[in-house]
Amino acid sequence: MNDRDRDPSDDLEGTPLLTLERDLQHDLRRRAGALRITVPPVESVVDRPAPRDHRWLVVAAAVVAIVVIATTVLRVVDRPESVHVASPPPHMIQPVTLAPESGWRVAVAHRGSLDLPDPSAKPILPPDVFASGSTGWPQLWISVVSPPPAPGTVAGGPPVEVAQPQQVATGAVMVSAQLDSGYGIVAVGYGLSPDDVLAAVRSAFVNPALGTLDVMIPAGLQRAPVVTMVQVAELTRSGIPGDGPTLVVENATANGISSQQLAAQVAAMQGWSAEHLAIRGVGPRTVAVVQGGDTTIVGVTGIDPGGALAIVSTTPVDDAEIDRIVDGIRPLTPDEWRRLQDRCPPPSVAITTPCS
Amino acid sequence: MDDLPASPLLRPRAATTSTYDRPRMVVAAFADFYREAYPPMVRVAYLIVGSQGRAEEIVQDAFVRVHARFDRLDNPAAYLRTAVVNGCRDGMRRERRLSLRLPGVHAEQERTSDDEPTRVDDRLDLAIALAAVPARARAVLVLRYYEGLSEAEIAETLGISTGTVKSLAHRGLARLREEVAR
Measured CA to CA in angstroms, residue A216 lies from A181, A228, A229, A269, A271 at distances of: 11, 11, 11, 8, 13
**Cβ(A205)–Cβ(A346) under 8 Å?**
yes
Of A13, A311, A229, residue with least CA distance to B143: A13
Residue A196 contacts residue A185 (beta carbons within 8 Å): no
Residues A206 and A213: beta-carbon distance below 8 Å: yes
Least confident stretch, A175-184, A270-279, A323-332, B106-115: A175-184
Q: Let me know: does A259 contact A304? Beta carbons within 8 Å.
A: yes
Listing DSSP states for B27-42 in one string gives: HHHHHHHHHHHHHHHH
Q: Is the pLDDT of residue B70 over 70?
A: yes
Inter-chain contact B151–A45, Cβ cutoff 8 Å? no
pLDDT value at B60 more than 60: yes
* Residues A21 and A4 sit within 8 Å (Cβ to Cβ): no
- Say if the Cβ atoms of A23 and B123 lie within 8 Å: yes
Q: Which residues are within 8 A (CB) of B15 and not within 5 positions of it... i.e. 6 or more apart?
A: none
Chain A contact set for B9 (CB, 8 A): 42-43, 46-47
For A307-340, what is each residue's pLDDT tens digit? Answer: 344 454 545 556 665 566 555 544 445 565 455 4
Put simply, the answer to whether A42 touches B61 (Cβ < 8 Å) is no
Instruction: Give pLDDT tens digits for B113-138.
Output: 445 555 556 667 777 788 888 888 88
Chain A residues within 8 A of B31 when measuring between CB atoms: 42
pLDDT tens-digit map of A155-173: 222 222 222 222 222 222 1
> What residues in chain A have their Cβ under 8 A from chain B's Cβ atoms?
1, 3, 12-13, 18, 20-21, 23-25, 27-33, 35, 37, 39-51
CA distance B182 to B177: 9
pLDDT computed for residue A20 by the predictor: 82
Total beta-carbon pairs less than 8 A apart between chain A and chain B: 112
Q: Residue B44 and residue A32: Cβ atoms within 8 Å?
A: yes
Report which of residues B171 and A295 the model is more confident about.
B171
Q: What percent of chain A has pLDDT over 70?
A: 15
CA dist., res. A271 & res. A154, Å (int):
8
- Burial classification of residue B11, based on how many CB atoms lie within 10 Å of its CB (0-12 exposed, 13-18 middle, 19 or more buried): exposed
Domain positions in chain A are: 16-78, 95-343
From B94's Cα to the closest Cα of chain A, the distance in A is 17
CATH code of B117-182, in short, is 1.10.10.10
Question: Residue B36's closest chain A neighbor by CA?
Answer: A39
Instruction: Output the pLDDT for position A296.
Output: 46
In this prediction the pTM is 0.40
Nearest CB to B64 within list A12, A29, A48:
A48
Contacts of A28 in chain B (CB under 8 A): 47, 126-127, 130, 142, 145-146
Distance from CA of B35 to the nearest CA of A (A): 7
CB–CB contact B126 A20 (8 Å): yes
- Pair B59, B41: CB distance under 8 Å: yes
Phi, psi torsion values for B163, nearest 5 degrees: -60, -40
The rounded distance, in Å, linking the Cα atoms of A311 and A317 is 8
Chain A hits for B133, Cβ within 8 Å = none
| CB contact (8 A) between residue A42 and residue B68 | no
| Chain B residues near residue A24 by CB distance under 8 angstroms | 126-127, 130, 141, 145, 173, 176
Q: Say whether A24 and B127 touch across the interface (CB within 8 A).
A: yes
Chain B interface, best mutation among A3, A10, A18, A28, by max B CB count within 10 A: A28
Q: What is the DSSP string of A221-237?
A: -BS-SS----------T
State the average pLDDT for chain A: 44
B165 phi and psi angles, rounded to 5 deg: -60, -45
The 10s digit of each residue's pLDDT in A108-136 is 222 222 222 233 333 333 333 222 223 22
Q: Residue B70: which residues within 8 A CB-CB, separation 6 or more?
A: B26, B29, B30, B33, B76
What are the tens digits of pLDDT across the range B161-175? 888 899 899 888 888
What's the confidence (pLDDT) of residue B98? 65
CB contact under 8 A, B38 and A46: no
Q: In angstroms, what separates the C-alpha of B107 from chain A's closest C-alpha?
A: 23
- What is the C-alpha to C-alpha distance for residues B68 and B62, in angstroms, rounded to an integer? 10
Distance from CA of A60 to the nearest CA of B (A): 21
Residue at A201: amino acid letter: V
Enclosing H/E stretch for A170: none
Q: d(Cα A172, Cα A334) in Å, to the nearest integer?
A: 34
Q: Where in chain B is the domain with CATH 1.10.10.10?
A: 117-182
State whether B146 and A32 contact (CB < 8 Å): yes
Beta bridge partners of A177: A217
